[in-house]
Amino acid sequence: MQTDKFQFLYQKYLKGQCTPSEFEAFKLYFLQSAEPHHLHAIEEIDALLDQELLLDKHRSDKMLVTILATRRRKKTRPLRMYMKYIAAACALLIVSLGVHYYQYTRIKLPIYKNCSSAVQRFALPDGTTVYLRPNATLEQLTSFMGNDSIRSVRLAGEGFFSVYKNKQQPFIVHALNGLSVRVLGTRFHADFREQETSVVLTEGSILVNAAQHQVNLRPEDRLTYDEKTGKLQVQKVDTLLYTAWIDHQLYFNDQTLDRVLQRLQEAYPDEQLRLRSSYQTLKFTGYLPTNDLNRAIEILQRTFANHNLTIIKYE
């Protein structure tokens, strides 16, 4: 076994690849060998050593290429070992970017707010038209693009929807209290305020979900929902009472003047209106404008001229 080892060192030396420590070990073996005739003499070894220090250019270049190739292999080994970790890190990065992109696109979905004192009209990306009363907000929850299975929005306040028909993408309106309205294409009024939640259908049909119940509405149906009790109620109504405001009108059907004045006060929040108590039980049927308070007061006073009605306006 020892002989094999030094035969190996001998061959390595002849190729010019022995280290100084290997060469000293080889010389020691040579001196201790009983029959060293199968190897070069020690002088020949020294002579060979001198020759190895003066290699010709061709052999020197070949040895350099071999050494450089060995170094490259040694450097690339750790990279192969860590490739699976690099791949996992890349996958994690891609997923992370995807999540951030998804959150970014959600944040950028439109929010429609009516911060004015008048009715505002908004056009959604699918062609749906929405009218919002003052202080109402509509938040778009989906992009309305072709890859969305539904068109989803959330309403806070009062609005009127004229929904573009698309059977492949149902339109859903959510309230903050959990009630939702599902439609394909229709027209309806929604009042999703804290004090009252109601839906009035003017055209088509809709499906209302609330308190684990589903109710199909027909035109002229008005659904009210009491979140505290979980009670749903449906009744027939005059839809003009709930939709006239789209045309900047308030419609009243045999309403008492105290209720009329209350509705006017809601339409003109910056004004203060007063009515003598003796007039409060008088009833009014007709339209009053929501964009001209002086005109509205004039209509009421002329209607009840025989009662000498006077409405006082404080600015």
Evaluated on CA atoms 107, 108, 112, 115, the torsion sign reads positive
Q: Which of 131, 125, 169 is nearest to 150 (CA)?
A: 169
pTM assigned to the model: 0.61
* Length of the chain as a residue count: 315
Instruction: Show me where the domains of the chain are located.
Output: 2-81, 116-242, 248-314
The pLDDT tens digits of the residues spanning 140-167 come to: 999 988 788 999 999 999 999 999 999 8
Average pLDDT, stretch 8-12?
68
- Residue 50 has what pLDDT? 46
H-helix or E-strand spanning residue 121: strand 120-123
The pLDDT tens digits of the residues spanning 220-262 come to: 999 999 888 888 899 999 999 999 999 999 999 999 999 999 9
Contact 138, 159 (CB under 8 A): yes
- Residue 59 has what pLDDT? 55
Integer Cα distance of 61 and 193 in angstroms? 87
Fold of 116-242: Jelly Rolls (2.60.120)
- Please list the residues that pair with 236 across neighbouring strands: 221
Q: Which of 284, 280, 264 is nearest to 272 (CA)?
A: 264
From the number of C-beta atoms within 10 Å of its C-beta (0-12, 13-18, 19+), residue 232 rates as middle
